[in-house]
């Protein structure tokens, strides 16, 4: 299983935004939508062994987590508008301290970074940062990982402190600062290549017929 957390510092926490303006009125929700797509989609297929956790910290009700479970997902297409619309639908639910199912494979709840870190206790945590250890050097040893990434503003000092305290290892996908969704693609690629090199068949993947 690969779990990926993206922290959206400005991402709106109610459904009151336009799908035509995901970067503006939705608080850079476009970044999170691209991350969802990069994390889950293959060409003509979907990674069913991936979960994406969007930590939404924008106004008006900061501290919501939307979880996309690859295994159970339905109705998601690769375009930003599609994930934006499913996120909007989830945000229209009354989020509580319990998971609430919005649509198949999509869950919403209240929560913050501490909640996520306690949920992932016992897993191997990785914090993506430009100056971290090269993922290529360790990809072969990575099993059952959880990756944490920032959005356009990165990760705050306080969040970074929490991640490091929880034991997250800092890793890099390259020397330049890249878009969050591109980092996800590169992480998957490194892990896919390492698995292939070990002669392992890829994780749970659903392939669609190409036409
Ligand atoms: C657009 S970048 C953030 C840029 C922001 N201006 C900053 O200084 O943090 C978004 C996120 O992608 C990840 N990231 C970007 N480039 C990376 C790289 N080369 N290696 C690892 N993570 C990277 C980091 O998690 C970062 O928080």
Q: Is residue 209 assigned to a domain?
A: no
CA of 103 to the centre of ligand 1 (A): 30
Distance from Cα 169 to the centre of ligand 1, integer Å: 15
- Whose tokens are 């993947």? That residue is 205
Given this model, what pLDDT does residue 208 score? 77
148 lies in some domain: yes
How far apart are the C-alpha atoms of 34 and 184, rounded to whole Å?
A: 10
Count of structural domains within the chain? 1
In a domain? residue 137: yes
Q: Is residue 206 situated within a structural domain?
A: no
Residue 147, beta-bridge partner list:
4, 126
Q: Is residue 183 part of a domain?
A: yes
Encode pLDDT of 49-86 as tens digits: 999 999 999 999 999 999 999 999 999 999 999 999 99
Q: Which residues line ligand 1 (CB under 6 A)?
A: 128-130, 149-150, 152-155, 172-174, 176-180, 183
pLDDT tens per residue, range 172-203: 999 999 999 999 999 999 999 999 999 988 88
What's the whole-number mean pLDDT along residues 129-137? 98
Give the domain range for residue 141: 2-201
How many angstroms separate the alpha carbon of residue 153 from the centre of ligand 1? 8
With contact defined as beta carbons under 8 Å apart, do 169 and 133 qualify? Answer: yes
Q: What is the mean pLDDT of the chain?
A: 96
Largest distance between two CA atoms of the chain = 49
User: Is residue 210 one of the residues assigned to a domain?
Assistant: no
Rounded to 10 degrees, what is the CA torsion of 46, 42, 111, 58? -140
- Please state whether beta strands 205-207 and 2-8 pair in parallel, antiparallel, or not at all (unpaired): unpaired
65 domain residue, yes or no: yes
CATH label of the domain that carries residue 6: 3.40.1280.10
* pLDDT at residue 211 is higher than 70: no
- What pLDDT score was predicted for residue 28? 98
Q: What one-character-per-residue DSSP string does 60-96 give?
A: SS--EEEEEETTT--S--SSHHHHHHHHHHHHTS---
Binned at pLDDT 50, 70 and 90, residue 205 comes out as confident
Percent of the chain predicted with pLDDT > 70: 99
CA distance 35 to 3: 12
211 assigned to some structural domain: no
């Amino acid at each position: 299983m690969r779990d990926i957390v993206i922290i959206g510092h400005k991402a709106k926490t109610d459904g009151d935004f336009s799908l035509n303006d995901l970067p503006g009125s939705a608080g850079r929700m476009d970044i999170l939508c691209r991350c969802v797509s990069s994390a889950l989609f293959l060409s003509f297929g979907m990674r069913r062994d991936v979960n994406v956790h969007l930590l939404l910290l924008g106004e008006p009700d900061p501290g919501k987590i939307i979880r996309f479970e690859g295994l159970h997902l339905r109705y998601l297409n690769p375009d930003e508008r599609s994930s934006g619309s499913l996120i909007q639908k989830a945000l229209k639910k009354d989020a509580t301290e319990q998971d609430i199912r919005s649509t198949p494979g999509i869950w919403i709840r209240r929560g913050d970074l501490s909640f996520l870190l306690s949920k992932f206790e016992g897993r191997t945590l990785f914090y993506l940062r430009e100056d971290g250890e090269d993922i290529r050097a360790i990809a072969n040893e990575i099993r059952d990982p959880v990756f944490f990434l920032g959005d356009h503003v990165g990760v705050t000092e306080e969040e970074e402190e929490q991640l490091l305290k929880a034991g997250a290892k800092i890793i890099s996908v390259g020397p330049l600062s890249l878009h969050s969704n591109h980092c996800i693609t590169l992480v998957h690629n490194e892990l896919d290549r390492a698995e292939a090199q070990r002669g392992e068949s890829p994780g749970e993947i659903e392939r669609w017929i190409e036409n």
